[in-house]
Amino acid sequence: MARYAIGDVQGCARELDALLARIGFDADRDRLWFVGDLVNRGPKSLEVLRTVRALGDAAVVVLGNHDLHLLAVAEGLARKRTDDTLDAVLAAPDCDDLLAWLRARPLMHVERDYAMVHAGLLPEWSVARAQALAAEVESALRGPGYREFLANMYGSTPAAWDDALDGWARLRVIVNAMTRIRFMTGAGHMELKEKGAAPPPGFAAWYDARPLRDEPVLVCGHWSTLGLKLEPRVAMLDTGCVWGGTLSALRLEDRWLAQVPCSGYQPVGESV
């Protein structure tokens, strides 16, 4: 059995099909790890959701910021953005089933030597601690009060973790770290606006701020301007398919990399 971690698909169904053919994916033998952001900005979010859901146990998906945005828009708790491409999902006859399936996906997945989360982790959190915190968000998202969670999910404050945080503020920090983070200060404050590859003054990439620990390698996406980054402690796999880059799959057992070219459905330089 091989495990393939796949970067942000974002509604690029044709490229996903091509990538699965490229790696010779066999659902009876292999497992796919999706780093989040299955949907939005690309043209075929509905097809991607249907394809991945149909894989059943052969696919592991963690939630990204665009996936959470879809859930909030569907509940009328967030406005559609001008570059959203979610209408086909929202109008589909199986929309409710697809959204219920998406809402049940984890925020973080840990398996043996690898841990997967969409954006990143704060330096205070070991992988084990982060998995426990992710479970708090998952419980809120899967519970009967999930609409209240979605209504309180947005916002960039608090900007740092504190064990004393509770309520929506606590869950918001967890969501922001795991689905939005790119840069942070040495004091642990997140910077959630800058989207380039280089850190603004006083900040560093989140993975450079993490202390060395004997723990699973982190597999993430989210950061298309950074692109592919394969290091001993982290594998960053958002290679900007929707912006005309590539869609990437990393075989975790030996770090063999497969990529397919993408048409580019959004102009380079737009919001990512």
pLDDT over 80 (residue 269): no
pLDDT at position 186: 80
* pLDDT at residue 270 greater than cutoff 70: no
pLDDT in tens, 83-137: 999 999 999 999 999 999 999 999 999 999 999 999 999 999 999 999 999 999 9
pLDDT band per the 50, 70, 90 thresholds, residue 260:
very high
In this prediction, residue 271 carries a pLDDT of 46
Beta bridge partners of 33: 5, 60
Q: How far apart are CA 142 and CA 261, in angstroms?
A: 36
Quote the CA–CA distance of 180 and 199 in Å, as a whole number: 15
Which pLDDT score, from 0 to 100, does residue 184 have? 94
> Tens of pLDDT along 156-214?
999 999 999 999 999 999 999 999 999 999 888 999 999 999 999 999 999 999 988 99
Q: Any residues with CB less than 8 A from the CB of 237 and at least 6 apart, and which? A: 5, 6, 7, 8, 35, 219, 220, 221, 228, 248, 250
In this prediction, residue 16 carries a pLDDT of 98
Cα separation, 221 vs 244, whole angstroms? 16
Mean pLDDT of the chain: 96
Taken in order 259, 264, 265, 270, is the CA torsion positive or negative? Answer: positive
Each residue of 3-52: pLDDT tens digit? Answer: 999 999 999 999 999 999 999 999 999 999 999 999 999 999 999 999 99
Give pLDDT, residue 6: 98
Asked if residue 272 has pLDDT above 60, the reply is no
Domains in the chain, CATH or no CATH each? 3-261 (3.60.21.10)
How confident is the model over 210-237, as a mean pLDDT? 96
